[in-house]
Structure 1
Amino acid sequence: MTIPLSALDLVLADSNGTAAEALDATSRTVLRLDELGYQRVWFAEHHGTEMSASVVPAVLMAHFATLTSRIRLGAGGVLAPNHSPLAIAEQFATLATLHPDRIDMGIGRGPGTFDRSIVRALRRGGEPTSDAEYDDDVAAIVRYLSGEGGVQLIAGWQPDAGGTRPWLLASSLASAELAGRLGLPIALAHHIRPDQSVATTERYRERFTPSRWADRPYVMAAVETIVADTDEEAARLARPTDLARARPTSSALLSPDEAALHEIPTEMRDRVEVTGAAQARGSVETVRRRFIEIVEQTGADELMLYASVYDADARIRCYELATRAAE
């Protein structure tokens, strides 16, 4: 199996670190991903959390596009309910003009925070969007990027001149149908809802209509990937992620040694074990088998790896070993 690899970076902040240290670790990671030949690296939009220093994907994309030579930069994703469609389209049209053929826009729905006061502040007091409002916002963003929104995004800007490519983050039948209707490639959230992956990709392919963005269905599956020299070492590195999944709050990621001192609540153990088992964890050979299984299950055209590892050097090592697993 040879399959294109990409990466999702949350700018992980550890329990004893600073934002500057987290961003420096991401800088080293992105530069190494560029050297390794990864297709793209995307940044998430999270607010008010101690675990992630990735707040504004567009800013990170602009910064890392100037430091790298070929890798595509993207949002995974920019959260449509937090911004006006026109503002999103203007930001990404500007990025695509500055960095032609290197900008992706992954559009998602979640608020990016557990804090309701932050949600209200981001949305200027507005209520959470309905399904219909979200669908309308995504369609409006796509129209603006197509040059069909009745607004000149940037003076002299041409939609097809190295323009940004929109994707839809998908983890449900509803998002699959929306992506299919608009003819968008999807970023499948297998790392979050693996139980929905097969049904989501099947519905997406059933409803897909060719567009200027894609002439056929295209699935990039996001997979939590922790690769080490042995299965045992990978399990040790994965322990902080399992603990975070068991208590989804804004707490910073613990080190493996710290995480080993904590028990996963009994009522969460089954869910944590099932979700972890659906990911790609272990030695190179173990992860190679998991990659093959995930591709066979979902028909993925590309894998986006999320190395949720506390230590930056171990995280980079995961991405290095993953290229061997994908061969």
Structure 2
Amino acid sequence: MIDIPLSALEVAMVQTGTRAVDTLRDTAAFAQELERLGYHRVWYAEHHHSPAIGAFPPVVLIAHAAAATSAIRLGSGGVLAPNHAPITLAEQFGTLAALHEDRIDLGVGRGPGTFDEATVRALRRGAGPATDSEYRDDVAAILAFLVEEVALGPLPEPWLLASSPAGAALAAELGLPVAVAHHIRPENTRAVVEHYRAAFAPSRWCARPRVLLCVETVCAETEEEAQWRGGPMNVVKAGLLKGIGDLPFPTPAEAAAHPFTEEEARALAGFRARQAVGTPETVVRRLAQLAEETGADELMLTTPVYDFRDRVGSYELIRKYLGEFPDVGSVEGRA
């Protein structure tokens, strides 16, 4: 069974046939539902120039959801450091932490959040992609500004997102908890976790290594229904395999009729096998296996399905199957 906290990553999918305002309305409702169900935190991701994922700034979504909830932690998963001035992120998240004490997380990542080169240049004011040293300097500056500029009030909890050993190395060097993107590059998970734990240096932010593992999770009453609901994201992933990042998020029926190549079908099957898709028993067993294999301190579930009620229903089924969630305070306090 699972004895660590469960959380959620919300990527704000804009479904075919709906408007961006509908997705924005659902973000607050989603946080309210997850709070009711007893999940630990909800994070929002930064994306740009995609018809499938809304270009909604995480800081705005966090503020919107925080105003509609009272206890669940909320944060970024993540804001992308190269796209922002470090002092701006420190001020924004410091303000959120002052308004919603002990509820705000600042998860920082590196990627541009888009495949569109013109958008990357616009975000970077004409500059090219950030180098390793520039990214490290940005993250270090964010942490320094948090202390220097907003230290009079409560601070957000900083995290570093990682999908490669390089990201793990930076999190370990700076003494930050790490959020491992198993839902993006599952083939790197073992190396990321091992490198992070081996190199971790304690800091004011984190006394010991802390690992959050993000897993794509689709739970339904039957295996067939889970596969049906997960179909739209398969279409988006097939496009990403070919470097196409501007595909819309289709309906399950449209996804079922999509003509995947044999190579795409093999790649998607291999990816799904490393995630958690199926009935409550199948999903919980898989999540428990991943937690044991990685020694994760927390699991974050991301459920990119078409219908809002189906997305919430996935989390409800897992909650019902598990019964009471573990006490977060006692779990996080473990050495």
TM-score normalized with structure 1 length: 0.94
Kept in 1: contact 2:230–2:305 (CA 8 A): yes
Q: Tell whether 2:12 aligns with 1:11.
A: yes
1:194 pairs with one of 176, 186, 193: 186
Which amino acid in the other structure matches residue 303 of structure 1? L
Q: Tell whether 2:158 aligns with 1:166.
A: yes
> Which residue is 1:260 aligned to?
256
RMSD value over aligned CA atoms? 1.2
Aligned equivalents of 2:247 and 2:13: distance in 1?
11
Deviation of 1:19 after TM superposition, in Å, equals 0.4
Higher mean C-alpha displacement, 250-259 vs 217-226: 250-259
Aligned equivalents of 2:211 and 2:159: distance in 1?
10
Aligned residues: 318
Aligned equivalents of 2:194 and 2:267: distance in 1?
24
Q: Tell whether 2:235 aligns with 1:234.
A: no
> Which residue is 2:202 aligned to?
210
Aligned equivalents of 2:143 and 2:28: distance in 1?
30
Q: Tell whether 2:313 aligns with 1:317.
A: yes
TM-score normalized with structure 2 length: 0.92
Aligned equivalents of 1:84 and 1:97: distance in 2?
20
Aligned equivalents of 2:87 and 2:261: distance in 1?
44
CA deviation profile, 1:21-62 (whole Å, cap 9, x unmatched): 111222221110011111110101011111112520001111
Aligned-pair identity (%): 49
Deviation of 1:272 after TM superposition, in Å, equals 1.3
Q: Tell whether 2:176 aligns with 1:184.
A: yes
Aligned equivalents of 1:21 and 1:27: distance in 2?
11
Higher mean C-alpha displacement, 48-57 vs 36-45: 48-57
Q: Tell whether 2:269 aligns with 1:273.
A: yes
Higher mean C-alpha displacement, 270-279 vs 66-75: 270-279
Aligned equivalents of 1:30 and 1:137: distance in 2?
29
CA deviation profile, 1:191-245 (whole Å, cap 9, x unmatched): 0001110110010000111111111111110000100001111011111111211
Kept in 2: contact 1:45–1:57 (CA 8 A): yes
Unaligned runs of 5+ in 1: none
Deviation of 1:271 after TM superposition, in Å, equals 1.9
Q: Aligned ranges for residues 109-124 of structure 1 at < 5 Å?
A: 109-124=110-125
Q: 1:286 to 1:297 in 2, by over 3 A?
A: same
Deviation of 1:284 after TM superposition, in Å, equals 0.6
Kept in 2: contact 1:287–1:325 (CA 8 A): no
Deviation of 1:182 after TM superposition, in Å, equals 0.7
Unaligned runs of 5+ in 2: 324-335
